Structure 1
């Protein structure tokens, strides 16, 4: 039987000091300025490999080869797109948002940031983003208690159905990132929807850094106050790979990102 040994105030203070010093070094090494938001509307894409429309409240799955890009563009305000992703060759390695947030010292994932796996590799990079980071890594989309109607489909129900199509189980679902969901959290932990941060014509583009499987759910975010009952559709395009520059901001923005890309090269 394990016995709990209470920690002294001095030990707790020492741990806090070590953490704050580590945080200071991380923030000092972080970029002072990431790339500016992408323009609205999105430029016409080239080398489109595939296109699909996700109706409001629905879901879909797809596979990307390393280097290929995934462009998401809601047709109107009132829909947020949640994503879960896995390494295609071994889905036990999956998207890990807690580590993604910790190593980059921010919950604001935007153009120039990366999303990690639970093995410390880069799963995908955010190469374009017109919102400047108006995305949600905290809420996880709507749960099973949400009204299950064409206008208000549950993110959880969609994801459970999506992973089944990939041959996975709901236990394989990681924490989700939800794009086009302008959530901020204050010092008291209160989540707030900031509608002015998203606009018609918003879009994001993600670059696969490994071969990966992706599940997408396009539904109303539980904090979205949009009064319109219908949920707009989302346009999804799979685009061919482009050459990656040596100074690509996603690969050079932080020391942690550089190490994660080094992990990619070791496999």
Structure 2
């Protein structure tokens, strides 16, 4: 069923690309487009950040996203809020069911301590990349930098908290072919890095590849599932739509 859904989606696509494990990319998704992110092999982790392309001082706000929707993770029917109370993107489909919002991304020190020393100097393209440096590289392409990094989404990863307050990473949360659809409600700069999750217990450096596919869609309707999922989202959609008349 998942493979048939992917094939049907890609028949309507505007563009598609594959991102290797340990790589990074950035691009603009326009309002009323959908980006499908597909885990090609299973156990992927996709670090994602979102910025209003028309005013990059407005960006994804993890705290507002969670408290407005009374959740600790993202899944179908939820949205990603900006720090201006507007909606950057909505999750319209999701075969995975849980996407981490609270654990951040790896940095150079973490990757070095966990996976060993493989830099471009001694390993060339087989170097060990970390998410923070990958994100900075992409931000610099748009006139931004490390000061613009905010708490990110980790698509396809599940982390839950036990009664004692300890974090637990669920291995193999995502299977090969799992996907998440992001419908963009404003023109959005998207930053992606396919680096392993900070809590991934795998002792080997083994980031997984993804495929991304974009297509056009219509605006969220009056009774859209994401709009109606909670009262706060109705206000978020209104705040966003008045930007576009």
Q: TM-score category by the smaller chain? A: 0.7 to 0.9
Alignment partner, residue 10 of structure 1: none
Preserved CA contact (<8 Å) 2:39 2:174: no
Alignment partner, residue 88 of structure 1: 53
The Cα offsets for residues 87-132 of structure 1, whole Å up to 9 and x where unpaired, read as 0110000010111001111112100001100000011001111111
Alignment partner, residue 182 of structure 2: 206
Alignment partner, residue 67 of structure 2: 102
User: Could you say what secondary structure the match of 2:227 adopts?
Assistant: helix
Structure 1 segments unaligned to the other structure (5+ residues): 1-38
Question: What is the correspondence of 1:33-182 to structure 2 with a 5 Å cutoff?
Answer: 40-41=2-3, 42-44=5-7, 45=9, 46-133=11-98, 135-145=99-109, 146-147=111-112, 149=118, 150=126, 152-182=128-158
User: Could you say what secondary structure the match of 2:138 adopts?
Assistant: helix
Deviation at 1:221, TM superposition (A): 1.1
Change (3 A) 1:104 1:132: same
Preserved CA contact (<8 Å) 2:21 2:207: yes
Kindly indicate whether structure 1 or structure 2 has the higher relative contact order, using CA contacts under 8 Å at least 6 residues apart: 2
Count matched residues. 228
RMSD: 1.8
Distance (whole Å) between structure 2 residues aligned to residue 55 and residue 143 of structure 1: 19
Preserved CA contact (<8 Å) 1:151 1:231: no
Distance (whole Å) between structure 2 residues aligned to residue 223 and residue 173 of structure 1: 20
Change (3 A) 1:196 1:79: closer
Preserved CA contact (<8 Å) 2:35 2:213: yes
Distance (whole Å) between structure 2 residues aligned to residue 231 and residue 109 of structure 1: 21
Residue number among 239, 244, 248 corresponding to 2:215 in the alignment: 239
Deviation at 1:223, TM superposition (A): 1.7
Preserved CA contact (<8 Å) 1:126 1:205: yes
User: Could you say what secondary structure the match of 2:2 adopts?
Assistant: coil
Preserved CA contact (<8 Å) 1:153 1:220: no
Structure 2 segments unaligned to the other structure (5+ residues): 119-125
User: Could you say what secondary structure the match of 1:219 adopts?
Assistant: coil
Deviation at 1:246, TM superposition (A): 2.8
TM-score normalised over the length of structure 2: 0.87
Preserved CA contact (<8 Å) 1:56 1:219: yes
Deviation at 1:266, TM superposition (A): 2.3
Preserved CA contact (<8 Å) 1:95 1:123: yes
TM-score normalised over the length of structure 1: 0.80
Decide which structure has the larger Cα Rg and report it. Answer: 1
Residue number among 224, 234, 257 corresponding to 2:200 in the alignment: 224
